[in-house]
Structure 1
């Protein structure tokens, strides 16, 4: 058995059991009241709410842009150091722990939960936006030039490559290690036990977990609302269906219904099954785009994208004396705040499915596998979109008019456009179901005090709440309400940046303790860190 920390915490000690649920007091109650207050306030004053949260988001981004960039760089370096150090050989769950999932299913789940839906939304739109100066160009390159085409793919990879996955890796590894190796509950507060010991179970831990719940449910509800808008835009574009609020809400209801069925079935019968389906559908769409669009030219595109990414990695990571403020603040810093605000959800889910992997395997897989897949994906979709713009083909030739349509506008210029576009819509919806499903499991764990298997009614409650929040805000406040929700999620990214930096220190302390008292000794130690 791995060494356990000496702690007075007992999972479920503060829980209230009611309505078939296992509610951690006060995390569940405070989170529920804050969510309810936000929804009601945003419905009553959608414009004012958006203005207020946009102001807080803008203040965070404008004044702490350096902190986001510095922290992002630290996370990448920290992960690289852990791979090289002897602690990289430590196995999550102890030396005898075995992986619960195959490599294929593990990759599928962490990728689908991490950013699969984002790649559907931005794979064409983002490179096309940089190429045409839709909202700033990276490092102020001249839009529409060959240099802009190269920079567009390199900058897109910068936003979707090593940095965001390092953020997820820090949270995921911290939670997995402290849960499976040190016997602590699967909740964000557990990562701070090396600092403050049993005070982790007091008000400090409650605040951390409440913020994590809020960031997760706001981020998921925002994505669900915007995803419904993209799917509705695709249906309107393909079949001329009226892109109305009713259609968008119907999509949310459908996605939420399937997500509820999935959370009832659990990890094996739900998330794993849907994640594997995601990967098969994504692979089918990717192969289609490569075969009928890029052809053998895809190999050159992949190589060029990788080179452009590597060449611009350091310039784009720099925070000193940037001249491209519109791009820098509007894209890069925004993305870093968004990834950090999503890190409690994605990190905790990755932790939940990663028992049995070594630290080295974990970091290598979480950073490199998604980055390599994204290089191929962005090369095919983004590269083809830019080629169409350069050749003056289709609607993209006029630039990005609506980001939710960019993918469908690119597919419209390929054979079998209707079939591929329908496949894209299905893939968007399945990705959203997977995100909702895995996010519900994460919130369940936090609001149940870190228990790995919360009661089924509790899973249903949070999966339903995500859909209800998105639908109610979309119906009552439209774009302003969703914008306020997104701005609120981004605002959470600032304090959570400090949480993640502290988490790096705590994780290293925990890994050093494990290696000193368990790995070297070859037996459990009674010592407390």
Structure 2
């Protein structure tokens, strides 16, 4: 059989269906101890490797810390050009799909129709790919990027320094927000689109299992059900684990900082470990209750609280300044988009390596997690509709949130530089986990709203752990989406343990190392996915035209 043409067969063709059956026989789960329904090789290798990593990091924390620092230095310092070009390529790939005839292909086939309304779909897209980032970075980044004098020795290329007049302040704020939008806008969502499209096309249109390995059928043929496919799925597991661990670690740091700010609780690694343990326990309860009784209800509660929190900041601060700051930042982001995206020709290597490269690696690490979720809720959309909406709608929501929070914090900073807690936490004495609470300190109801911020961080923590364990379990169960709950509970525990050992082994540097180390090999997987997506879409177009 000539496997190079297999993906071009129309849905239901005999050769594709034959390989689909082979695939089911080779990656189907097997009942194991404790009622687990697993894919033996992927589950066992992933689980054993995770346990070994946890044990070694706990036994040798100092050596682990130095190793993590070396990984970060290599990934961000040596491969910065690679990550910049790679993510720019993903944007060009997505835009090409919009304008090429491939955009008319519908996920699920010509007769498929969307399962969710636009409003519900947009809400799910918004909640899928952001998590704790809105709270941790919403104040931190705009303030950091808008100011040159910073304690880390990493100067922002966007900001201003020295005596500022109103015009210079406005320019610095707009550029600070533009730098924030760069990291949270369409670059990251283009990464998610590649993963989600690959899963959607090969699962809904080609009838293959809902597994990342399925996207490589055009390249590997039946070998995708063997060790080649196992390696791809194992890479996806570790990419997701370390991407989630980074979010959980940041969430624990911010929750601990908020508890110190409001209640005087000590800020320490041990306190953060206890926070992770307690929140993981709540996540286990959520997992046991299932999607309807656990994750869905928590997500709904979180959405309501987040909306209330956003409108409080908008109206309790300077509303006009917040909205005008958001718009100025968006305008600067659009006009300077090419310059911001350029991989070469910018004299800001230290800044780019410390911020932008970490973000690109983080988005890639989250791609299996978020991409799988987006694919599951996007059946029935055309490729063109899918790309445009996923690229633009969540980005705009994030821009509004960070524009309001960032502009409010910047207005406080420039109005009273000497007394601003935001300046103290971001510029004078870098404590990023406290930046949100520094901004809330200047608004009414500081204690109440700071407590709400802590609650939001903790619920984001729980929902990330719950949904992440669902995705990892789907991968390690051979593409099943209804595997036994004890399996998801196992992966929720592993996620929490990895977040703990990364904090113990080096804090933020270790979290960054985990992300970048897994993003390097998985980025190659995603590049190959672009090729298989085009192969599959070519086949769909021929089927439509015939």
Question: Normalized against structure 2, the TM-score is what?
Answer: 0.89
377, 400, 403: which one aligns with 2:432: 403
| Corresponding position of 2:338 | 314
Greater mean deviation of Cα atoms: 147-156 or 372-381: 147-156
Secondary structure in 1 matching 2:110:
coil
Name the structure 2 match of 1:525. none
Gaps of 5+ in 1: 522-529
- Mapped to 2, the partners of 1:322 and 1:180 lie a distance apart of 43
Establish whether residue 66 from structure 1 lines up as the match of residue 92 from structure 2: no
1:527 corresponding residue in structure 2:
none
The 8 Å contact of residues 109 and 204 in structure 2, kept in 1 or not, is answered as yes
SS in 2 for 1:296: helix
**Cα deviation code 1:197-230 (max 9, x no counterpart):** 1111122211111111111112212321231121
Structure 1 residue 240: deviation in Å? Answer: 1.1
Identify the residue that residue 101 of structure 2 maps to in structure 1.
Answer: 86
3-state SS of paired residue (1:452) = coil
Q: Is the counterpart of residue 16 in structure 1 residue 40 in structure 2?
A: no
**Partner residue in 2 for 1:157:** 181
Aligned equivalents of 1:256, 1:155: Cα separation in 2 = 33
In the TM superposition, residue 113 of structure 1 has moved relative to its aligned partner by 3.0
1:78–1:138 distance in 2 versus 1, CA, 3 Å: farther
2:296 to 251, 254, 272: 272
Alignment of 1:244-323 (within 5 A): 244-245=268-269, 247-323=271-347
Question: Is 1:365 the equivalent of 2:379?
Answer: no
Q: Is the 8 A contact 2:235 2:521 kept in 1?
A: no
Q: Tell me, yes or no, if structure 1 residue 496 matches structure 2 residue 522.
A: yes
SS, match of residue 132 in structure 1: coil
Q: Is the 8 A contact 1:140 1:324 kept in 2?
A: no
How is 1:413-424 mapped onto 2 (pairs within 5 angstroms)?
413-424=442-453
Distance 1:3 1:143 in 2: 64
What is the match of residue 358 of structure 2? 334
Of the structure 1 ranges 58-67 and 284-293, higher mean CA displacement relative to structure 2 is found in 58-67
Root mean square deviation of aligned Cα: 2.1
The answer for the alignment partner of 2:161 in structure 1 is 143
Shift of 1:130: 1.6
Counterpart among 460, 463, 473 of residue 431 in structure 1: 460
User: 1:131, 1:137 within 8 Å by CA — same for their partners in 2?
Assistant: no
The question of 1:77 aligning with 2:92 is answered yes
User: What residue is the counterpart of 2:65 in the other structure?
Assistant: 50
* Of 488-497 and 269-278, the range deviating more from structure 2: 269-278
Distance in 2 between residues matched to 1:22 and 1:406, nearest whole Å: 44
Q: How many residues end up aligned between the 2 structures?
A: 517
Shift of 1:102: 4.1
> Quick check: 1:391–1:397 contact (8 Å CA) kept in 2?
no
Q: C-alpha separation between the residues in 1 aligned to 2:25 and 2:296?
A: 27
CA drift at 1:103: 3.6
Does the 8 Å CA contact 2:219/2:532 hold for their aligned counterparts?
yes
Superposition pairs of residues 214-225 of structure 1, within 5 angstroms: 214-225=238-249
Q: CA, structure 1 residues 9+107, in 2 after alignment: closer, same or farther (shift >3 Å)?
A: farther
Task: Give structure 2 stretches of 5+ with no counterpart.
Answer: 1-9, 163-167
Distance 1:308 1:482 in 2: 30
Aligned partners of 2:290, 2:117: CA distance in 1, in Å?
Answer: 17
Question: 259-268 or 48-57: which moved more?
Answer: 259-268
Equivalents in 2 of 1:3, 1:409: separation in Å?
Answer: 59
Decide whether the 8 Å contact of 2:321 with 2:411 is kept in 1: no
- Which is further off, 73-82 or 265-274? 265-274
Q: Measure the CA separation in 2 of the matches of 1:482 and 1:267.
A: 31
When residues 484 and 243 of structure 1 are mapped into structure 2, their CA distance, relative to the original with a 3 A threshold, is closer
Q: CA deviation at 1:482?
A: 6.3
Going from structure 1 to structure 2, the CA distance change for 1:399 and 1:264 (only over 3 Å counts) comes to: closer
User: Which residue is 2:235 aligned to?
Assistant: 211
The aligned residue for residue 505 of structure 1 is 531
Residue 502 of structure 1: how far off its partner (Å): 1.3
| 442-451 or 339-348, larger mean C-alpha shift | 339-348
Distance in 2 between the 1:470 and 1:95 partners? Answer: 43
Q: TM-score, normalised by structure 1?
A: 0.92
2:192 matched residue in structure 1: 168
The farther-off stretch of 167-176 and 273-282 is 273-282
Q: 1:460 aligns with which of 489, 505, 508?
A: 489
Q: How many Å apart are 1:280 and its aligned residue?
A: 1.7
Distance, in Å, in 2 between the alignment partners of 1:120 and 1:352 is 26
Alignment partner of 1:113 is 2:131? no
Q: Report the equivalent of 1:520.
A: 545
What is the match of residue 30 of structure 1?
Answer: 45
Matched, 1:227 2:242: no
Between the aligned partners of 2:326 and 2:265, the Cα distance in structure 1 is: 36
Residue by residue, what CA displacement relative to the aligned partner does 1:127-167 show, whole Å, maximum 9, x if unpaired? 11122333434436543653332211101100000000110
* 1:499 to partner: Cα distance: 1.6
Deviation at 1:319, TM superposition (A): 1.4
1:440 aligns with 2:469: yes
In structure 1, what is the Cα distance between the partners aligned to 2:332 and 2:158?
16
Kept in 2: contact 1:105–1:276 (CA 8 A):
no
